[in-house]
Homo-oligomer: A and B are copies of this chain.
Amino acid sequence: MANFRNTYFFAKGQSYPEFKDMTKDELKSLLGGKGYGLYLMTCELDLRCPAVLNLPTFHSHNLENGNLKASLVEEIRTGLRQMEENTGKKFGDAANPLLVSARSGAKFSMPGMMDTILNIGLNDNIVNTLAVGDKARFWLDSYRRLLQMYGDVVEQIKDEQGEDPFEHCLDSFKKEMNAKNDLELGVDALKELINRYKAIYAKYGNNFPQDPIEQVVHSAEAVFRSWNNDRAVFTRRQEGISDDLGTAVNIQEMVFGNKNERCATGVFFTRDKSTGIKSEDHLDGTVLFQAQGEDVVAGIRNSLPLEALRDHSEQVFRDIYEEMKSTGSRLEKTLKNMQDTEFTIEEKDGTPLLYWLQIRDGKRSAKAESVIAVAMQREGIVTKEQAVLMVNPERFEELLFPQIEPKHRKEAVLMTKGSAASPGAVSGKVVFTQDEALDLAGKGEDVILVTVMTSQEDVRGMKASRGILTSTGTKVSHAAIMATAWGIPAVVGASEILINKKERTFNAGDFTVKCGDVITINGATGEVFQGKVPTTIPTELEESAQQILDWSAEIKAMDVRANAEAAETQPAYNNGARGIGLFRTEHMFLGDRLPYIQAVLFGNDAAASAKALEKIYEFSKDDFKHSMKVMSGHGVTIRLLDAPLHEFFPHGSDLEKEENPMLGHRSVRMAITNPEIPRAQIKAILEAARELRAEGFDPKPEIEVPLVIIPREALEIKKVACEVATEIHAASGSWVPYAFGIMVETPAAALSGKAMVEALSTPVPGFAKEAHPVHGFASFGTNDLTQTTLAISRDDADKFLPHYVEHNFFDRHPFMSIHPMVERLVRTFVEEARSVDPGFETFICGEHGGDVYTIERLHLIGLTGISMSPGKVYRSIIKAAQSQIKSPRK
Contact = CB atoms under 8 A, between A and B. Distances in A.
A169 interface: no
B748 A789 contact: yes
B751 A825 contact: yes
Contacts of A799: 664-665, 669, 673
A658 B661 CA distance: 11
A522 interface: no
A746 B670 CA distance: 25
A327 interface: no
A27 interface: no
Interface string A151-182: 00000000000000000000000000000000
Contacts of A747: 747, 788-789, 821, 825
A707 interface: yes
Contact of A663 (B665, B791, B810): B791
> Which of A663, A672, A825 has the most chain B CB within a 10 Å cutoff?
A663
Interface string A25-38: 00000000000000
A795 B751 contact: no
Interface string A784-827: 10011111110111011001100001100000000101101100
A659 interface: yes
Given A660-B662, A665-B800, A713-B809, A821 B748 contact: yes
Interface in A727-754: 745-748, 751-752
A391 interface: no
A710 interface: yes
Interface string A80-91: 000000000000
> Which of A658, A664, A795 has the most chain B CB within a 10 Å cutoff?
A664
A791 B710 contact: no
Given A751-B824, A784-B791, A796 B673 contact: no
A669 B822 CA distance: 20
A804 B711 CA distance: 12
> Which of A662, A669, A707, A748 has the most chain B CB within a 10 Å cutoff?
A748
A809 B663 contact: no
A709 interface: yes
A409 interface: no
Contacts of A793: 658-660, 662-664
A661 B659 contact: yes
A766 to B, nearest CB: 18
A700 to B, nearest CB: 29
Contacts of A789: 746-748, 751, 788
B665 A795 contact: no
A790 B709 contact: yes
A795 B661 contact: no
B746 A795 contact: no
A709 to B, nearest CB: 5
A494 to B, nearest CB: 27
Contacts of A796: 658-661, 663-665
A529 B670 CA distance: 41
Interface string A644-685: 000000000000001111111100011011000000000000
Number of this chain's copies in the complex: 2
Nearest to A667: B791
A587 interface: no
Interface residues of A, number: 45
A647 B822 CA distance: 30
Interface in A864-878: none
Contact of A809 (B712, B790, B824): B712
Contacts of A792: 663, 709
A791 B659 contact: no
B800 A659 contact: no
A665 B796 CA distance: 7
Nearest to A709: B790
A145 B192 CA distance: 129
Nearest to A792: B663
> Which of A672, A710, A796, A821 has the most chain B CB within a 10 Å cutoff?
A796
Contact of A669 (B662, B795, B800, B819): B800
A564 to B, nearest CB: 25
Nearest to A795: B659
Contacts of A751: 789, 821, 824-825
A748 B672 CA distance: 29
A670 to B, nearest CB: 8
Contacts of A804: 672
B709 A791 contact: yes
A665 B810 CA distance: 17
Interface in A477-531: none
Contacts of A803: 672-673
Contacts of A819: 748
A658 B796 CA distance: 6
A645 B327 CA distance: 66
A460 to B, nearest CB: 13
Contacts of A797: 664-665
A778 to B, nearest CB: 16
17 contacts: A660-B661, A662-B663, A663-B787, A663-B788, A663-B791, A663-B796, A664-B796, A665-B799, A670-B800, A672-B803, A709-B790, A710-B809, A747-B789, A748-B789, A748-B790, A751-B824, A788-B789
Given A665-B800, A784-B791, A788-B791, 6 more contacts: A659-B796, A664-B799, A665-B797, A747-B821, A748-B790, A751-B789
* 10 shortest interchain CB distances as A-B pairs: A664-B796, A663-B793, A660-B793, A659-B795, A747-B747, A665-B799, A658-B796, A669-B800, A748-B821, A746-B791
